[in-house]
Amino acid sequence: MIDIDLSMVNWARAQFALTAMYHWIFVPLTLGLSFLCAFFESIYVRTGNREWRNLTKFWMTLFGINFAIGVATGIILEFQFGTNWSNYSWIVGDIFGAPLAIEGIFAFFLEATFFAVMFFGWNRVSKRFHLFSTWMVAIGSNLSAVWILVANGWMQNPIGMIFNPETARFEMNSFSEVVFNPVAISKFVHTSSSGFVMASLFVLSISCWYLMRGRHLQMAKRSIIVASVFGLLSSSYVVLTGDESAYEVAQKQPMKLAAIEGLYKGETQAGIVAAGILNPDKKPGDDQDPFLIKMEIPYLLSLLANRSIDSFVPGVDDLVYGNEEQKIEGVGSKMARGKMAIADLAEFKQAKKENNSQQAETSLEKFRKNQDYMGYGYLEKPEEAVPSVAIPYYAFHIMVSLGSLFPVLFALFLFYGLKDSLPQKKWLLPIGLISGFLGLMAQQSGWVVAEVGRQPWAIYGLLPVKVATTNLAAVNVQITFFMFLGLFTLLLAAEISIMLKQISIGPSEGELK
């Protein structure tokens, strides 16, 4: 068995989570604000009204500030695969690296090329070419997200590959399966549409501040109407893509679904928990009630998970200890098969080393029977396969609760915006002012659901996180953790300071009133 320093593993996880969560502050805003800038400029080109041009340049400036900081955190995030997760990079680098390389060569270069024209091409190129460049930046930004989420989707649902026992690595055998992985598709459409919502809320927040201060009223009203339409349409799509994403989780990651619903005992005609407080003393396999209090909507979880209200939804206990009636194999059984696979692989490699072809062939044949469970062989007890239930449970319900609020908010702003009565709605403007922060909370909660709910796996079902790390001393990772914490905090403070200064200045005076 591999000697693993769990302290180092935990610090590596903490460092990656820190970097990812800081990075995720900027990414959703980039995805949505790039399209809003394109919408604003399209209106300018169509109408010829210079007020729309100044409006576009103002939001474009805020987009550029956010884009620059997002690139810095994203580069650090990718480098961590080589520093703290070298075993992961070695074992799955042939597959995971391909979409990241495509993202850098194709999507990032596309947006970077037209980024310069978008920012510095005013009065240097034609209006239509400048508009084309703005749309290319928006498309390029979202293409970057496609390839990043293809890579992440493969981690959640590893397909399109084979395991090479000679090198002990996973190798891609179907690029199309990796790209069109249903989990990757559902993740992209849900993530991108939620990014559109985030950007719309960002525009609402700043526009509400202007209305409350009595500044740039025309610009604020116009921005709110466009952002509300975009946000309302995106919110509707978030609901649809969220349903599909939850269905894919139920099919491919049933343990994650059980965690986000606090479901320990599987149920037929299972209801979904609308609100509830978990019992902090609840453990897998015991007889305690999972909830101190809860409100449940009947049948909805079975419908969401399997598209049938009469279907069975497995709980944590079913997945950990098995359920013969439902033909669910427990983690303990998978661990035994995984340990056999690890032993057979070691025999195969030893036989190859000794040029014993007959023994190598026999060991390889035995290995193939259990190779899909090899990752479970590194677990020490069945309960290790259960994520920290409270974290994804509460994060999921925060995300859904806020996500349900946003379309109502967009509808109200659109209604009063079209009636030109927003400045008089003193009760609504403060809600709009904090809506950007609420959107950020929903975004971070969604990331937590996706990544913490996957634990303990780096590659779901195949590679535990503790086996994926680099052989480093924990103190080395601790030092860089606090270095990154300081650096990211400075970057975030710098972005907020620059944005606040730009917002205080506002759009060009004299042409926007």
CA 439, CA 33: separation in Å to the nearest integer?
Answer: 14
Asked if the structure places residue 478 within a domain, the reply is yes
pLDDT-based confidence at residue 47 (cuts at 50, 70, 90): very high
Q: Residue 212 above 80 pLDDT? A: yes
Q: How many CA atoms lie within 13 A of 208 on its CB side?
A: 25
Residue 169 host element (H or E): strand 169-172
pLDDT at site 3: 64
**Structure token digits, residue 436:** 């950007």
Kindly write down the DSSP assignment for every residue of 446-498, as one continuous string.
Answer: HHHHHHHTTTTEEETTTEEHHHHS----HHHHHHHHHHHHHHHHHHHHHHHHH
pLDDT, position 471: 84
Between 266-270, 304-308, 335-339, 470-474, the lowest mean confidence (pLDDT) is in 470-474
What does the block give as tokens for 78?
């990718």
Amino acid identity of residue 8, one-letter, is M
Instruction: Supply the pLDDT for residue 84.
Output: 86
Whether 384 is covered by a domain: the verdict is no
pLDDT at res. 375: 92
For the segment 278-315, what is each residue's pLDDT rounded down to a tens digit?
999 999 999 899 999 999 999 999 999 999 999 999 99
**Band of the pLDDT at 123, cuts 50, 70, 90?**
confident
Instruction: Say if 369 falls within a structural domain.
Output: no
pLDDT computed for residue 201 by the predictor: 97
Q: For residues 223 and 55, give the distance between their C-alpha atoms in angstroms, rounded to a whole number.
A: 8
Q: Which amino acid belongs to residue 225?
A: I
Domain assignment present for 362: no
Of 116, 179, 120, 112, whose CA–CA distance to 139 is shortest? 112
Which residue bears the tokens 């990331």? 447
Residue 321 lies in a domain: no
Residue 107 above 80 pLDDT?
A: no
Quick: pLDDT tens for 238-251: 999 998 999 999 99
The rounded distance, in Å, linking the Cα atoms of 464 and 11 is: 15
Q: Look at residue 509 and tell me whether its pLDDT is greater than 80.
A: no
Say yes or no: 122 and 219 in one domain: yes
Q: Which residue has the tokens 């062939």?
A: 361
* Interhelix angle 217-252/390-418, nearest 10 degrees: 150
Q: What is the pLDDT of residues 88-104, one digit of tens each?
A: 888 888 888 888 888 87
- pLDDT, average across residues 348-355: 89
Domain that holds residue 308: 267-313
126 and 271, same domain (yes or no): no
Tell me the pLDDT tens digit for each residue of 129-155. Answer: 999 999 999 998 888 888 889 988 999
**Predicted pLDDT of residue 2:** 56
- Would you state the structure tokens that stand for residue 295, as one six-digit string? 């409100």
For residue 108, what is the DSSP state? I
Task: Identify the pLDDT of residue 512.
Answer: 41
Residues 251 and 277 in one domain: no
Identify whether residues 178 and 60 lie together within a single domain. Answer: yes
Query: Which tokens belong to 443?
Result: 């975004």
Q: What is the pLDDT of residue 260?
A: 95
Residue 33 sits in the same domain as residue 129: yes
Question: Pick the residue with more confidence: 93 or 269?
Answer: 269
The answer to whether residue 33 is domain-embedded is yes
Q: What is the pLDDT of residues 150-195, one digit of tens each?
A: 988 999 999 999 999 888 899 998 999 999 999 999 999 999 999 9
**Whether residues 194 and 60 fall in one domain:** yes
**Same domain? 178 vs 306:** no
pLDDT at 510: 47
Q: Write out the H or E segment, with its range, that includes residue 8.
A: helix 6-47
Q: Average per-residue pLDDT in the chain?
A: 90
Region of poorest pLDDT, from 74-78, 317-321, 454-458, 467-471: 74-78
| 239 and 136 share one domain | yes
Q: In terms of Cα–Cα distance, which of 261, 371, 277, 372 is closest to 318?
A: 261
Instruction: Mean pLDDT check: name the lowest of 2-16, 218-232, 317-331, 352-366.
Output: 2-16
283 and 241 within one domain: no
Residues 6+ apart with CB under 8 A from 131: 38, 41, 42, 45
Same domain, 241 and 292: no
Residue 106 inside a domain? The answer is: yes
Which of 150, 183, 149, 140 minimizes the C-alpha distance to 30?
140
Contact partners, residue 431, CB within 8 Å, separation at least 6: 409
**pLDDT-derived band of residue 513, with 50, 70 and 90 as boundaries?**
very low
Q: Are 231 and 295 within one domain?
A: no
Percentage of residues of the chain with pLDDT beyond 70: 98
Please say whether the beta carbons of 74 and 107 come within 8 A: no
Number of domains in the chain: 2
Q: Are 450 and 191 in contact (CB under 8 A)?
A: no
Q: With cut-offs at 50, 70 and 90, classify the pLDDT of residue 113.
A: confident
Percentage, residues of the chain above pLDDT 90: 64
Out of 68-77, 139-148, 365-374, which region has the weakest mean confidence (pLDDT)? 68-77
Q: Would you say residue 382 lies in a domain?
A: no
* DSSP, res 328: B
286 and 251 inside one domain? no
Q: Are 264 and 282 in contact (CB under 8 A)?
A: yes
Task: Quote the CA–CA distance of 178 and 188 in Å, as a whole number.
Answer: 13
